[in-house]
Amino acid sequence: MKKIILFFCFCIFIFSCKKTAPLPNTTQQSGSSNYISSFRQYSNRLQIVDSLEYDASHRITRILVYDYDTTSGNAELDSTKEVFSFSGNDTVPNSYVIFFPGGDQQEDRLLFYDTLNREITDSATDNSADVISLSYPGNNIDFSFLFYSNEMDTLVLSNGNITSHSEYFSNSLSSTLQSVYSSPLYPNPAYASGVANTIGAGLNIWIHVDNGSYLDFISKNLANSYSGIGNGLPPNNASADFSWVTDSKGRVVKGTLALPGNPTTILYAYY
């Protein structure tokens, strides 16, 4: 009974966010007056909810990541939150605070950008060695976080979409995820150029590493299939296909990824 009550309260909290009006730099579908409030991903005994909040100027100010996991046989509710701060009317945040599970631990971090307003450095205020670095060679995005996890990631883009995400630890490949985009193409509900081209890379890697969420702030379209090496992916680099569903307004509201033995469902909610 406690598990049921916990999960019920969890769902009420996630979908009780305040409604605001959209602006072009928020995460909204092109040509739509709606933008996403949450992304839910669930499979066998595991549910992930990523919830987005905005300020009065409709900039993303908070991203809350929740895991509801019963794979161990016990109900475990985990959460991480990033709260962004802006200077005046700046369209990109200059700092953020990340709150770790339990709510009694937090870390203050500063953000720095290149001349194109792309995030290049994410550093802790209390430790100069705790630095996340990003670079943008060619069609790639390289991510390095050597202080905490000795992690290096590479995102490969083609036509504005992520086609490969490789994750390395201590120079050894840990996982790689390939994405295929083909007809029909569905617009990515979480895409907005003001996010994708600034803090999008940092957000993508944080959310993916934190809980394996497929939420994508960079790609313009939704993938038609996934393949690769990693937990839950088909063996022998086989492909798993997505099936997307739209509502009467043409917005993507549901997706199913046909992973063998562990089909995954994705739901998008809109303000």
> At 26, which amino acid appears?
T
HSE of 118, CA atoms in CB hemisphere, 13 A: 14
Just give the CATH number of 2-270. Answer: 2.40.160.190
Q: Which range, of 72-76, 107-111, 133-137, averages the lowest pLDDT?
A: 72-76
Q: Token digits for 228?
A: 């690769």
* Position 176 pLDDT exceeds 90: no
pLDDT digits (tens, 9 = 90+) for 186-233: 999 999 888 999 999 999 988 877 677 889 999 999 999 998 887 667
User: Using an 8 Å Cβ cutoff, are 80 and 96 in contact?
Assistant: no
Whole-prediction pTM: 0.82
pLDDT digits (tens, 9 = 90+) for 106-119: 899 999 999 999 99
pLDDT digits (tens, 9 = 90+) for 19-61: 333 333 445 544 344 578 999 999 887 889 999 998 877 789 9
Nearest to 122 by CA among 104, 143, 102: 143
Instruction: Give residue 157's region: left, alpha or beta (phi > 0; psi -120 to 50).
Output: beta
Q: Is the peptide bond before 189 cis (omega within 30 degrees of 0)?
A: no
In whole angstroms, give the CA distance from residue 174 to residue 233: 13
**Domain spans, the chain:** 2-270
Q: How many CB atoms lie within 10 A of CB 37?
A: 21
The DSSP string of 241-264 is EEEEEE-TTS-EEEEEE--TT--E
In whole angstroms, give the CA distance from residue 197 to residue 215: 16
In whole angstroms, give the CA distance from residue 136 to residue 128: 23
